[in-house]
Amino acid sequence: MQPTLKRCVEDWNALPWKKFQKDVFRLQHRIYKARQAENYKLVSKLQRLLFQSRAVRFLAIRQITQLNRGKVTAGVDGIARLNVRERLRIFEDLNDLKNYKHQPLKRIYIPKPNGEKRPLGIPTIKDRIVQCMLKYTLEPVYEAYASKGSWGFRPGRSTHDVLMQIFVNLKKSDINYEKRILELDIEKCFDKINHDRLMEEIYLPTYMNRIIRSALKAGVLKEREATHEGTPQGGVISPLLCNIILHGIEDLWNQPYKYFCKDRSVIRSKKSEIAQRGIRYADDIVFFLQEGEQADQLRKKIDDFLIERGLKVKEAKTHLVKSTKGFDFLGWRFEVKPNHSLTCRPSKKNRIQMIKKIKTKMKDCRLDLKKRLEKVKVIYRGWRNYHQYCDLSTVNLWSINEWVYKFVKKANNKLKRKKRTEAKVVRIEKIQDIFNNHKFALFKHVAVKSDKSPFDNDWIYWSNRKNKQYDRLKAKMLKRQKFRCGECNLKFASDDQIDLHHIDGSHENNSYRNLIVLHRSCHQHQPIHGLKRSKVRT
């Protein structure tokens, strides 16, 4: 007799999640230290222990079915959601994975800003859970030897860290006005990776390697039976595999660090201190060239590196420019001014994308004006937060403010003419709350230390960094709770998703007694939210 759904919910909530997280992190830390010591026999032993553990299976199931943003995306099996009974059933199915094979992928297309479409391969929920387990097992190994110039899709790192690395290479104290920048993109990086070369770079026990190869060869339903190259975009482990295969390309142009005096002559050179001349975020890369250095030599090294892995540079997105002419990278425009100081502002392409999103949302007739403005506020606030460490004073932000103002005013006039008393007229003052009162601090972000990793067990360092990522209420509550979750009492890890919880359920009451910071997984099970959902259903 199957247990009732209510009993399954009670069993799921009663699981020792705190112990699971501790057990998984302890093994990941041991894998990280063993790889640094090049004790490969111990690494393999610990990987088997972690992959076969009960804790990693439950955490992977929770991550895929409850926490990930794409948790309701269906694969070829058509299953988009799992209830608690189905989660416990899939846990039992994961007991023996030695002969596990991935199902074919579901193909969907995402439009690009240039009009092209990016193909994504969506695995089934079970396949995503297995990939998540492999990621927990493989990520500490990569973090132990990852390059200082690799920043994309790594725990504890963000694009703002990349911004500060570019500042270090082009700041005023250096001879930045003589530097040139080689900006390049890899053509169809995820689709063209050589499988055999990739498997040579992956260090996992044999049967786990077979699971990864099965994921690479899964193919796309109704398109092809097997995939002979590339990694499936949309898979949980795909960004990590991309980092592994491209490891080392950012170090092709590194040189011993040189110290210059005012007449630009070299004072001394430290061979032990290496200047990071390449910065990679996933498959986007920039290199910094000093005066007199040959870009052709660097391009030859890059091409040889990529050919060995079945890849090549996309010429349309490859540019060699002077630092004074400026270049775009990760949505920012970097440029050295005539006074040799570096400036950064949102790129034109990035601003246009933001404006298009706002206009599309305002024209969405399925929502009333008030809800549209709330959606626009989220879009604009996210855009401003992303650009909070660049110069926004030179960017024209009044145009979109004026467009929204005229749109709302016109819509209000239509409501008044039709005498629709049931429709609420939106006050124009609300628009000012959206587009005003935002600050910026040019190059004030504190970048993560390039040799640090969340798996190094330095909780003091990562807790302090976590606190600096937030402002106002959330940062204050983190400090009051000593960087621990108010529900499970575990310290917040670098990649944990943190929510601000209102104890009485009212977001109008922001007193400290009514606030608590929680893991997102802990926040989902708060009784007040369950009561609210039941009231909505009734």
Q: Give the pLDDT confidence of 52-72 residue by residue, as tens digits.
A: 999 999 999 988 888 777 777
146 vs 526, residue with greater confidence:
146
Cα–Cα distance, 32 to 43 (Å, whole number) = 8
Which structure tokens are listed for 151?
């920043």
Mean pLDDT on 317-332:
90
What pTM did the predictor assign?
0.84
Mean pLDDT on 303-326:
89
Question: CB of 517 within 8 A of CB of 478?
Answer: yes
pLDDT at 241 over 60: yes
pLDDT at 228 over 90: no
Cα–Cα distance, 18 to 289 (Å, whole number) = 49
% the chain with pLDDT above 70: 84
Q: Where are the alpha helices (DSSP H) in 436-481?
A: 459-468, 472-480
Query: At 491, which amino acid appears?
Result: K
pLDDT at 433 over 70: yes
Domain residue spans in the chain?
5-246, 347-435, 459-525
pLDDT at 315 over 80: yes
340: phi > 0 → left, psi -120 to 50 → alpha, else beta; which? left
Q: Give the pLDDT confidence of 372-407 residue by residue, as tens digits.
A: 888 888 899 889 889 999 988 888 878 888 888 888
What's the confidence (pLDDT) of residue 531?
A: 53
**How does the average pLDDT of the chain come out, rounded?**
82
**Element (DSSP H or E) covering residue 124:** none
pLDDT at 449 over 80: yes
Which of 73-77, 222-226, 353-357 shows the lowest per-residue confidence on average (mean pLDDT)?
222-226
Helix, strand, or coil here: 295?
Answer: helix
pLDDT at 29 over 80: yes
pLDDT at 232 over 70: no
73 vs 170, residue with greater confidence:
170
Which DSSP category does 76 fall into?
Answer: T
